Amino acid sequence: MPAPASPSDLRRWLNRATFGTTPALLEEVQSMGWERWVAAQLAPDDKTDTDCQKRLNNLRLHIEYEVQPMAPAAAGAKAMMATQVAKKVNENRPLRLLHQPLEQTFPMYGKDDVNYEEKSLAMQEVMMATLLRAVHSQWQVREMLAEFWHNHFSVNADKDESVMLALPAYDRDVIRANALGSFRTMLQGVAQSAAMLYYLDGVESKASPANENFARELFELHTFGARNYLNHRFTKWRDVPGALEGKPEGYIDQDVYEAARAFTGWTVENGAEDDDGAKRPNTGRFMVREAWHDPYQKRVLGTEFDSQRPALEDGLRVIDLVARHPATARFIAEKLCRRFVSDDPPEALIKQAAAEFTAAFDAPDQIARVMKVILLSAEFRSAPATKFKRPLEFLASYLRATGADFAPRIDVVYQLDEMGQRLFRWPTPTGHPDTSGYWQSGTFLLRRWNLPLVLRDDGWKGIASFHFLTLTPADCTTAGQVLAYWSQRLLGQEVAEKSRAVLLQVLTDDDEANASSEFSGDDKDRDIRIASCVALLAASPEFQYR
Amino acid sequence: MNTTTSLLTRRSLLRRALGASGLTLGGGGIQRLAFAEDSAAAAGRDLLVTIFLRGGCDGLGVLAPVDDPHYRAARQANLRIVEKGERPGLAIKNGYAGHDWRLHPDAAPLQELYAHGDLAMIHACGLKNGTRSHFDAQDMMERGINEQKNLGLGTGWLTRFLDSLPGTGLLPGLSADGAMPASLLGCTRAAAIANLQDFSYYGDDRQMKALRLMHAQSGALGAGGNRMLTLLQEVTKKLPKKPDGSVAEYLPAKGVTYPEHDFSNTLKTVAQLAKMELGLQVAAINYGDWDTHTGQDYRLNDLVANLAKPLHAFYADLAAQRQRTTIVIMSEFGRRLKANESGGTDHGHGNLMWVLGGGIQGGRCLGSWPGLANDKLDEHADLAITTDYRQVLSEVLMARMRGAEVATVFPGFTPGSPLGVV
């Protein structure tokens, strides 16, 4: 029986397993114990996340645009379209598209008479809900995993309005629904999603030649990983070790091309006619066009596919082959360990997590089981805080540590953009990098230092409400005590000696201050000075790591 | 007395003119001395600018032998360069023997630079390795290698190049982006600056001092943080200000107008920093998503137009230092000769590389053209490579490096017979 974890251990584990420690969460885990807390997190029940749900219900998104009526000549030429009436929209709307099924949201695709601002709500709502949940959801491990899978199966909603409109269903029904579930189920969901079919061009891939985009990323990014791309060593399938036994150890270009052929015909209902000439509705729902399918025999990863098989069958067989390959277990395990442990995760843990991924492959809670292995492992527990926080983690951990009330608006997204994190709009299918090098660039650091100050800007009223003075215990009467309290909240420790003097000066606005100086002034003034000091604690190197 | 109060309550993203406030740096003072730069020396430095076209630029859609029957058979008219009609390709002299070579119709500014002798083009160029993975190809090119097994290399080629150059300037290397590219991996003498309009810390002097002290420690973040703080201070001092203290808009050289486009803003940032006498010697820029699997006809037109015009303006903007400026444009691979069925092209192999500069032997197509007959294609599908990308880069570097060896920048690469780029 391991010794009970110290508060500083728990804090370190929480900082990596969640979007950031809070005093309340630390207390909760201290009383439950780490193992029980992890078990609860891995079986989340949305119905109990009441505080977060209330905040989501109260959130309002601003939408503003003007519609000019069409000039008479143009209106005559497009008589078939709905006539546009002059309209001015300036509203604050609750989240609605977030809960809407794909069939109700996607029909806006291609509709010229629907203003772009209306369409972009599909993306904005997912962004706001993601931000709010990162800070306020009780189910923090699930939120971390939702972010992980969104980056693993990354789509760029900027690419086309089709991807944007398909985003709520993608986020809700594909990623979040399976984040702690079955990888195989999630992979099929991704391959059949309007979001991915439009993003990687599968939607118009027909024989012949097929469009390779999705098939390549399926192998390189979603399953095997680039390390198992063996093209530099083998150009013939039979030369790949294990191929003749139907178990090649990696993939080559030919596998990508054959898989691309297998997926031809995997498309969506988007108003066009189907093979029988019937006009399909514009729903974004997955459908198959046999007329587009390359029906001839294929060979993927040393496995022969007979000719004249249905498009659905061919594609599903590819998904099965890649999902079950040991390289995939390894790749996913390594990525999860990199997310939750360190940039260079320990080999032993990767092996253990990969073994669980394989053993639990057919379990409905496969990923939860892999996460349990990781979060309870000795490697996770002993790893120091060396993961550099990505911008969302930085923002969320700051808001969580300071006990702020968060009601995000689009301004927050622009700030994260400037720090390098482009929510749902990373420009390539690789998703955001998960090693520190990328995030530590000059301008990104500068924006990070500025963010706590920006959050207090007049123009940002209502986005983040802080309670610095009210949260400071009444018995903190000296500057030293106030500094110690907030250092503990954000960093779990006192600040380094050399920075302490100047931070005390910031707290008191007095160059002669020391730790025993009285912390005085009117309420508003003291609140502002604590805010300035805490903004600096957030900029400290210590706060950047989890 | 209550400066802190007033700063936060009246805050509306007020930019602080740090230079004007007479900052005391305490422990940072020593670092300031180390970055002191002799402006005459700084002014004389060569500048190498790399522009990486991300996603695999379709070289055959930018410069092509329009009369080659293999080319015409492989793509419908809207996915290739044509010699007549509404949008004919732009003719050039000194193309590879035996064909009518044309540039993309929206590349007129490049045609002009080529005709003027400033721009050289090298086709059938690139990463010989043969990977069709963006990920691998970019990583290898940016590390200056050709084999996956060397992907563990912890430095980019620009890092090794920069490390071989003398100069203690404040900003020897620049990534004109929020992030650092892999070509500058491991570089301690480069910074990522996305734009100069909003390049300031919003806190006051005391808060700045606190930041300094907190980063006065060992470790990557301490060093990186301190470098950024020093840079912030020095660059801010040199930026032109409006009467209200905010940063004034950049004024290019007389007669130069950049077109309205994001890429122009990136180039302006580089130009401004290059002229600021900070000892800038290397700038790495990214442009585009050139991965035109679909919609290539309109996407490529946009990409080429929005590369050519801003680049032309940038080159004119730096006319005063043209002789010591070299701009290299590359992409991770070209695209397939034969179009796909979705209105685009898939990943290919050989590609176009451009070199622009006052010291360049421009107005010529360098290297050799392998042809587009099926048996001359790589894997019977893609334009072959006859010139290793490192050959081009080596020739550029050899003119710029003093005493250091190309072998340190491109380990494992033996230069072939010179193309005559420089």
Instruction: Give the CATH fold of the B47-199+257-409 domain.
Output: Alkaline Phosphatase, subunit A (3.40.720)
Chain A partners within 8 Å of B133 (Cβ): 216, 220, 226, 229
Is B3's pLDDT higher than 70?
no
Give the HSE-up count for residue A205: Cα atoms under 13 Å, Cβ half-sphere: 34
Give me the residues of A, 349-408, that contact B with CB < 8 A. 388
pLDDT at A208: 82
pLDDT digits (tens, 9 = 90+) for B382-410: 999 999 999 999 999 988 776 568 889 99
Question: What pLDDT band is residue B62 in, cutting at 50, 70 and 90?
Answer: very high
Number of H helices, E strands in chain A: 27, 8
Please answer yes or no on whether B211 and A436 come within 8 Å at the CB atom.
no
Is A2's pLDDT higher than 70?
no
Is A244's pLDDT higher than 90?
yes
What ipTM does the predicted assembly reach? 0.87
Looking up tokens 């920006």 gives A454
Please answer yes or no on whether A536 and B228 come within 8 Å at the CB atom.
no
pLDDT digits (tens, 9 = 90+) for A129-155: 999 999 999 999 999 999 999 999 999
Residue of chain B with shortest Cα separation from A527: B5
Residue pairs spanning A and B at CB distance below 8 A: 184
Min Cα distance B278 → chain A (Å) is: 16
Looking up tokens 């793509």 gives B75
Give me the residues of B, 103-142, that contact A with CB < 8 A. 129-136
Please answer yes or no on whether A442 and B228 come within 8 Å at the CB atom.
yes
pLDDT at A79: 47
Q: Can you tell me the mean pLDDT for A358-380?
A: 98
CA distance A517 to A507: 10
Type of residue numbered B376:
K
Return phi, psi of residue B190, to 5°: -130, 155
pLDDT digits (tens, 9 = 90+) for B127-162: 999 888 888 899 999 999 998 888 888 899 999 999
Question: What pLDDT band is residue A3 in, cutting at 50, 70 and 90?
Answer: low
Shortest CA distance to A212 belongs to which of B236, B345, B50? B345
- CB–CB of A533/A503 below 8 Å? yes
Chain B partners within 8 Å of A525 (Cβ): 2, 5
CA dist list (Å): A231 to A186, A212, B147, B148: 28, 16, 11, 10
Return phi, psi of residue A63, to 5°: -135, 130
pTM for this predicted structure: 0.85
- CB–CB of A223/A327 below 8 Å? yes
Chain A partners within 8 Å of B228 (Cβ): 442, 445-446
Is B5's pLDDT higher than 50?
no
pLDDT-wise least confident of A36-50, A73-87, A333-347, B112-126: A73-87
For residue A506, the SS3 value is helix
Residue that wins the pLDDT comparison between B8 and A331:
A331
Shortest CA distance to A333 belongs to which of A359, A303, A302? A359
pLDDT at B288: 83
pLDDT at B44: 66
pLDDT digits (tens, 9 = 90+) for B255-307: 999 999 999 999 999 999 999 989 999 999 999 889 999 889 999 999 999 99
Q: Can you tell me the mean pLDDT for B169-198?
A: 89
Q: In chain A, what are the domain boundaries?
A: 47-196, 200-324, 326-382, 468-544
Shortest CA distance to B331 belongs to which of B52, B71, B29? B52
